[in-house]
Amino acid sequence: MPKYDVTVTTTAPPEAVWKLLVDAATWPLWSKVDSLDTTRSTGLDPGGDDEVGAVRAFRTGRTVTGERLTEKVEPRLLAYEGAFNASMHDYRARIELRPTAGSGTVIHWYGRYETNGLLRFVMPRYLQKFMRGMAEGLARYAEEQRQGR
pLDDT at 149: 58
pLDDT digits (tens, 9 = 90+) for 41-94: 999 999 999 999 999 999 999 999 999 999 999 999 999 999 999 889 999 999
Q: What is the 3-state secondary structure (H, E, C) of 49-77?
A: CCCCCCEEEEEECCEEEEEEEEEEECCCE
Count of domains for the chain: 1
pLDDT number for residue 146: 77
* pLDDT averaged over every residue in the chain: 95
Distance CA(12)–CA(17), nearest Å, equals 7
Q: Which domain, by its residues, includes 19?
A: 3-146
Sequential DSSP letters for 95-121: EEEEE-TTS-EEEEEEEEEE--TTHHH
CATH code where residue 82 lies: 3.30.530.20
Determine if the pTM surpasses 0.75. yes
Residue 104 confidence (pLDDT): 96
